[in-house]
Amino acid sequence: MEHKSNAFLETEKLSTLMRKYAVPCIISLVVAALYNIVDQIFIANADYLGSYGNAANTVVFPLTVVALSIAVMIGDGACTFVSISLGAGRQDDAHRSIGNAVLLCLISSVVLTVIYLLLMDPILTLFGGRVNEETFTCAREYFFWITLGIPFYMFGQAMNPIIRSDGSPKFAMLSTVLGAVTNIILDPIFIFPLKLGMMGAAVATVIGQILTAALAVWYLLHMKAVKLSRDSFTLRWKLIRRFLVLGVTSFLSQISLVISMAAVQNMCTKYGALDPVFGQAEYAQIPLAVLGIVMKFFQIAISISVGLAAGCIPVVGYNIGAGRKDRAKTLFTYLLGCEAAVGFVALLIVELLPRQLIGIFGAGNESAYYTAFAIRCFRVYLCMMVLAMVNKGTFIYLQALGKAGLSMAISLIREIVFGVLLPILLPRFFGLDGLLYSFPTADVLTFLIAFVIIRRTYAELGGKGGLAQEPLEV
């Protein structure tokens, strides 16, 4: 018998579905981003850690993104595949893909944990950890404890989109929020009165991740549209390949960011050492610490962007599976408008309030050089936020349409070609400022490509191109 418990995705107003799925997804992703950001805020305001701990946090952050990239490849791929399968009435494909996603996540997380523990020192060095001895010591301590929590972190993140695909975006949000709130409560306790330093910040994070993972396990035992059985947990490599290809874009968007961050952080260390101020030993960690803070703000903004687009995946996937391209096209218009609006608000914040933003991260305990560089970094590095949001939304929407190859290609161009090449080339001409120019330049060049893709997508969904071919449902 054909199962159509998610048939409302084909009939309910798109604006209502957007709110139902995107808002919880946004909250989940923003809260997930806050895990690392909250650590950095408390670390920055602890006078015995300060900018050294801040820089250490920046060094470790890309390594947590590696874990996230694998998790979202599994989770987003399975989410898209499940949504399409349910829209087409293929229940067996749906429940088996979820079971295989669980197994794949567990295996990959254990492998990554072992690699991190065995190669800790060279990995930290690769991401700029040896800018000075104090930073490296802090980074090593933080990374060790964060690594122990990777299996829980990856499981919670991978199951989150799968839970959304089962029609429970609010539960997906709740599981992430509860983990983050736990981290926020424990961080100041461990860092200030207990004086546990970098270890305390990491352990607080891991405890929150364990809670999120535990809630995901509970949900898997109580799914609605999909019922899991022992048969769901038999490894099927052909099925795994089918859903992983749909998550490759999510993987590349994250892992390519890691590659870009490795280039940026190494260039930051290299050209910072040539700067007349930051070349001094007592200020050497400041560019790395500040760049990490700016990236964290961007991470919050991009989490909203990704949440908007990822929240559309179940809706788009189901409607494409049901042959409703008209609804997919309307939702694309809605998404692009929302992405541009988010980018504009974020742009106003970084241009008008950079001093207030850096003040949250312990600027009062640092030198004037710290604040001055941070203000310039916020205003220059993030000046093309509107285009960055639109680009990201386009990448993920293409993935939801099943265009994994195209989405993957433009993601690679943005993060690896532009995201690595420009940070290496521009500092040769502009020094440390060239590093700041590289990010907005990459977003402008990427948008030129994305604009062509957007027009083609509209044409394929039944329009002649442009952003006003069909009114939004309200």
Q: Using CA atoms, how far apart are residues 368 and 283, in angstroms rounded to an integer?
A: 11
pLDDT digits (tens, 9 = 90+) for 61-95: 889 989 999 998 999 888 888 877 776 777 777 78
327-379 confidence digits (pLDDT tens): 888 888 889 999 999 999 999 999 999 999 888 887 667 788 889 999 999 99
pTM: 0.76
Mean pLDDT of all residues in the chain?
A: 85
Residue 472 has a pLDDT of 34
Residue 474 has pLDDT above 50, yes or no: no
**How confident is the model at residue 463, as a pLDDT?**
46
Q: Report pLDDT for 15.
A: 76
Q: H or E segment at 107?
A: helix 91-118
Residue 457 in this model has a pLDDT that exceeds 90: no
Nearest to residue 91, comparing CAs of 235, 220, 229?
229
Give the model's pLDDT for residue 464: 40
Compare 389 and 9 and report the one with higher pLDDT.
389
Q: How far is Cα 218 from Cα 220, in angstroms, rounded to an integer?
A: 6
Q: What is the pLDDT of residue 375?
A: 93
Q: How far apart are the first and last CA of the chain?
A: 34
**Rounded to whole angstroms, how far apart are CA atoms 121 and 197?**
20
The answer on pLDDT for 235 being more than 90 is no
Domain map of the chain by residue range?
13-460
- As a whole number of angstroms, the distance between CA 372 and CA 354 comes to 10
- Which pLDDT value is given to residue 5? 57
